[in-house]
Amino acid sequence: MGREETVRNAERLVESTMNGRDASHNAAHAYRVRDLALSLAREEGLSNPSSPSYSPDGMEVVELAALLHDVGDYKYTKRTGST
């Protein structure tokens, strides 16, 4: 699976699990966090091969972490049954 497909699958997961939440933690929130995280990663040199911070997969890791950071958040998951 390529980077674009992985990111698109993560976006679909975000949309299916976070839509319907309040505006502070819906899918649009995850996209805003992604945009900010990628911008900061670029500023820190994560996407620049000549930078000591460079990592070939670094930008993908940052993007996926930012997108998925609230998926499964206990404040928004509904418990079913007893645990």
The per-residue pLDDT for 79 is 56
C-beta separation of 17 from 71 below 8 A? yes
pTM of the model: 0.84
In total, the chain counts a number of residues equal to 83
CA distance 30 to 32: 5
Question: 3-58: per-residue pLDDT in tens?
Answer: 999 999 999 999 999 888 888 889 999 999 999 999 999 999 999 999 999 999 99
Q: Where are the domains of the chain?
A: 23-71
Question: 12-21: per-residue pLDDT in tens?
Answer: 999 999 888 8
